[in-house]
Amino acid sequence: MLYPDKRDPMPGESETLLNIRTMRHIKTGTDIARNGGIMTAGKLYRPEKPFAQPEVADDRRITALLHKEKLRAQAFRASTDKARQGLLNARGRLATVINKNRALTAIRKQLQQEESIGRQGGAQSAAAPPLLGGQPRKSSNFRTTDIRY
């Protein structure tokens, strides 16, 4: 077999399709530098030394990471609190608008009733109210339309 990571071709299958090299088979200069360069005969006989970092550096990195994470969590909490406060402010403004509109509606309704009573007081001597669907018409502040098909 030409490449160890490739399988043997099935009967009737082209061997050239199995031996095509792709980008994952090519080593870039970065890969070679990361692995310490090209393996020469001299490098094959040298023992590999694992890179050992002092534990103090690890502790410093861990504490730095923890500090960074705490700052990130504080920023997230501050952001959510600010968003909640903005939402509460918007709800408060909306509540004031709704309450104002309700008060205006109540005042308008009261004015319409007073106006309706004033008109009915002068028109008491007029004829009886018209019938709507065989029933006497109820007093209303709105105009009604009778639609028949």
Q: What is the mean pLDDT of residues 138-142?
A: 69
Mean model confidence pLDDT for the chain: 77
Indicate whether 11 pLDDT > 50: yes
pLDDT exceeds 80 at position 6: no
Would you say residue 33 has pLDDT above 70?
yes
- The residue among 40 and 131 whose pLDDT is bigger is 40
Res 64 pLDDT > 70: yes
**Structural domain contains residue 113:** yes
Q: Decide if 23 is inside a domain.
A: yes
pTM higher than 0.85 for the full model? Answer: no
Domain span at 66 = 15-119
**What is the share, in percent, of the chain residues with pLDDT greater than 70?**
64
Residue 39 has what pLDDT?
Answer: 72
pLDDT, position 125? 47
Assess if residue 104 is contained within a domain: yes
- Quick check: is 149 in a domain? no
Asked, for residue 110, whether it belongs to a domain, the answer is yes
CA distances from 83 to 78, 89, 91, 127 (A): 9, 10, 12, 64
The reported pLDDT for the residue numbered 55 is: 62
Q: Is the pLDDT of residue 45 over 60?
A: yes
Name 120's Cβ contacts closer than 8 Å, sequence gap at least 6: 139
Q: Retrieve residue 52's tokens.
A: 């050992």
Exposure class string for 64-94: b at 16+ Cβ within 10 A, else e: eeeeeeeeeeeeeeeeeeeeeeeeeeeeeee
Q: Is residue 4 part of a domain?
A: no
Does 87 map to a domain?
Answer: yes
Domain count, the chain: 1
The answer to whether residue 146 sits within a structural domain is no
